[in-house]
Chain A
């Protein structure tokens, strides 16, 4: 059987998307941890354009960009499908995946901001959460994928786990559960799934790591 390798970093929400997809499909893979401050020659060879993780290498062939990787995985291993079979439903799912993908930058925007920039970043976060609440999670479904999670749930996972860490790092509460009841319900459901619960980076470890990095970054900003 062809070898499957995944290049990732321990805190990357993008890497976790691929980990969950592979595990949902029951695919064994070799995980290679990358130090993003000292990228391996192999990573740079597999992803010369973006030089980023995750990279999936299947039978020696690299696939880059997490959403491209997830669609590839779904096509190669059709068990436990991550996207709807109907073309229209699939188009709707892909719309929400793109929406989530286009918002992940809000993580680093908030992380790097202080003062006025921080207020602007918080406003954007709230607008995003409102769209999720009012438009994405309608119909009373447990997950975006219905009774089971699919690629859309996986795409929004940064809201379920990484946002909490970010709030701790910047010392702000952005997500107030009573203001976003549907999103709140979804987060609880998502994180209760054993496969997800057992495969999440440690929040405290991420928080400590990020706080230190943020202190250094803000200090150099003011110099």
Chain B
């Protein structure tokens, strides 16, 4: 049976980027459908009735929701190419722990950096740097979080790199100055076609953030 893969997505979403990268790593042909989140399609509402959010991966008509679950699903179904999760259960547990850490921290703290000002923003910037430094420590001397090749944690985390320029401009700080090894890792990931083609241009993301700030009435 011919495989039919559809991804319901929104171009600046770091969560959508995760699935784009995983599909690209595995060389899977799929239909990319861009959603207008102010006017969600009937398909999106039908495929993700609980959260009504993107990304949604639709494989042969059946939806998989939640980006990290999609990445795991893609890894399991198309298991003969570019494995993302390690085979060793303990290493797998470690990878899941750090992907969960990225999920719990980066989006929320990063959000506070561009959504707030003054004292709240200063606190958010500090928290973000602390979080990034912990991840930098976990990376250590490895080329990727997955070791010699791109892995689950890399896929979970690298999308947020496309938001760094916007966060730096909004917060008036340099992430590279604080976390040089992490930026080196990010640039290394960006040399991979699967990543470069899945991440939007950083200036475009910044323009999007500025529009969002205007929309929400944030200075």
Q: Is the CB of A65 within 8 A of B92?
A: no
Q: Is the CB of B50 within 8 A of A91?
A: no
Q: Which residues of B contact A90 (CB under 8 A)?
A: 73, 76
Binds A, one of B34-42, B61-69, B143-151, B178-186: B61-69
Q: Is the CB of B50 within 8 A of A72?
A: no
Closest to A77 in B: B89
Binds B, one of A93-101, A159-167, A204-212: A93-101
Main SS of chain A's interface residues?
Answer: helix
> Given A88-B59, A135-B50, A95 and B66 touching (CB < 8 A)?
yes
Q: Is the CB of B73 within 8 A of A91?
A: yes
A87 CB to nearest chain B CB (Å): 4
Q: Is the CB of B97 within 8 A of A63?
A: yes
Where the two chains meet, the residues of B that have a C-beta atom closer than 8 Å to any C-beta of A are 49-50, 59, 62, 64-66, 69-70, 72-73, 76-77, 89-90, 92-93, 96-97, 100-101, 134
> Given A49-B134, A99-B50, A91 and B69 touching (CB < 8 A)?
yes
Q: Is the CB of A63 within 8 A of B101?
A: no
Q: Is the CB of B93 within 8 A of A98?
A: no
Q: Which residues of B contact A64 (CB under 8 A)?
A: 97
Q: A99–B70 Cα gap in the complex (Å)? A: 15
Q: Which residues of B contact A58 (CB under 8 A)?
A: 90
Does A32 make an interface contact (CB < 8 A)? no
Q: A180–B50 Cα gap in the complex (Å)? A: 17
Q: Is the CB of A95 within 8 A of B93?
A: no
Number of A residues near B (Cβ < 8 Å) is 24
A selection of 9 A-B contacts at a CB cut-off of 8 Å is: A61-B90, A65-B96, A68-B96, A68-B97, A87-B76, A87-B77, A90-B76, A91-B64, A95-B66
Q: A205–B76 Cα gap in the complex (Å)? A: 44
Q: Is the CB of A131 within 8 A of B50?
A: yes
Q: Is the CB of A98 within 8 A of B66?
A: yes
> Given A94-B66, A95-B65, A135-B50, A87 and B73 touching (CB < 8 A)?
yes
Closest to A64 in B: B97
Q: Is the CB of A72 within 8 A of B69?
A: no
Q: Is the CB of B50 within 8 A of A76?
A: no
9 extra A-B contacts, CB within 8 A, seeds A68-B100, A88-B62: A49-B101, A63-B93, A71-B93, A87-B73, A87-B77, A88-B64, A92-B64, A95-B64, A131-B50
Q: Is the CB of B93 within 8 A of A91?
A: no
- CB-CB nearest 5 A-B residue pairs: A72-B93, A75-B89, A87-B76, A91-B73, A68-B96
Find residues 47-101 in chain A having any chain B CB closer than 8 Å to their own CB: 49, 58, 61, 63-65, 67-69, 71-72, 75-76, 87-88, 90-92, 94-95, 98-99
